[in-house]
Amino acid sequence: MPEGDTIFRTARTLGRALTGKVVTRFESAYAQLVQADDQAAFAGETVARVEARGKWLLMHFSGGRILATHMLMIGSWHIYRPGERWQEARANLRVLLETADFVAVGFRIPVAKVYTAESLARERAIPQPGSDVLGAEFSAEEAVRRMLGQADVELADALLDQRILAGVGNVFKSEICFLAGVSPFARVGALSRERVESVMEIARKLLAANVLEDSGDQIVTYRGRKRRTTNSSDPAASLWVYGRRGEACRRCGESIQRCLQGKDARVTYWCSRCQPAVPASL
């Protein structure tokens, strides 16, 4: 599933291509979106802005409606010039918006809904702006407060709670816990406020480092971008622990471990030596 950095870069690319442009054509494979278009055509409206909200991507239109999409494990947004050959089959099209300059195609997107500002504010599944770790409205202080309110939750599971910290997924969860030197199984209530603040700082820095500009103001897709947390230029050494079960820890040489964690059985990687079950100092 794309994490917050991927959605941020996707929103940035779509925003550069579409913001301020008039929609000339709209298509969708989803009845709810077709009905919304029948009631008030998207064609003729202007794309006001494109926003990343954790793992959700929101397109705001001049008429006040908001198109929210979630990629889950299979969806992606592509940008093309009119007439350019698509990289996916038309059968995989779920949403299409065309302007005079670009065609934005959402392929295999499993979740797509239309909201107003009022209905979006009531939608519990979509994080509020202040919880998006990459958002301009993000407040680390409030995120710390929210996390400390989940005392009985294991740290790795708390990091995945999009109401606490929107945008963190399995990869960053494991990497954040490693860099914080805390076991992913430590209960939040066992951590000091200072340690939780450190975890938040690491989360913000890691995701921010993975959305740094590398293409000027070009219109690019996020595909092919390799996530990196180690600062190593070696592509084979881009992550500390994630996906490295049985391999040597890059710091201490201990074998990296893996398990399924929490009620949702989400995969977690960690180093038992660098992240002891009961850290010496919390």
Active site residue 55: yes
- For residue 113, indicate whether it is catalytic: no
Which of 161, 198, 181 is closest to 277 using CA atoms?
181
> Any idea what the Cα angle at residue 13 is, between residues 10 and 14, rounded to 5°?
85
113 pairs with which residues across the strands? 68
> Is 2 designated active site?
yes
Q: Which residues of 209-241 are buried (b: 16+ CB within 10 A; e: fewer)?
A: ebbeeeeeeebbbbeeeebbbeeeeeeeebbbb
Under 8 Å CB-to-CB from 196, ≥6 apart: which residues? 144, 147, 148, 188
The 8 Å CB, 24+ separation contacts for 121-127 are: 123/68, 126/53, 126/54, 126/56, 126/58, 126/68, 127/53, 127/54, 127/56, 127/162, 127/163, 127/166
Q: Which of 3, 98, 154, 175 is catalytic?
A: 3
> Which one from 27, 51, 55, 254 is the annotated catalytic residue?
55
Q: How far apart are CA 86 and CA 80, in angstroms?
A: 7
Q: Which of 2, 51, 154, 175 is catalytic?
A: 2
**The token pair that represents 210 in the structure block:** 């993975």
Positive or negative torsion for Cα 129, 131, 136, 141: positive
The answer to whether 103 touches 142, Cβ cutoff 8 Å, is no
* Active site residue ranges: 2-3, 55
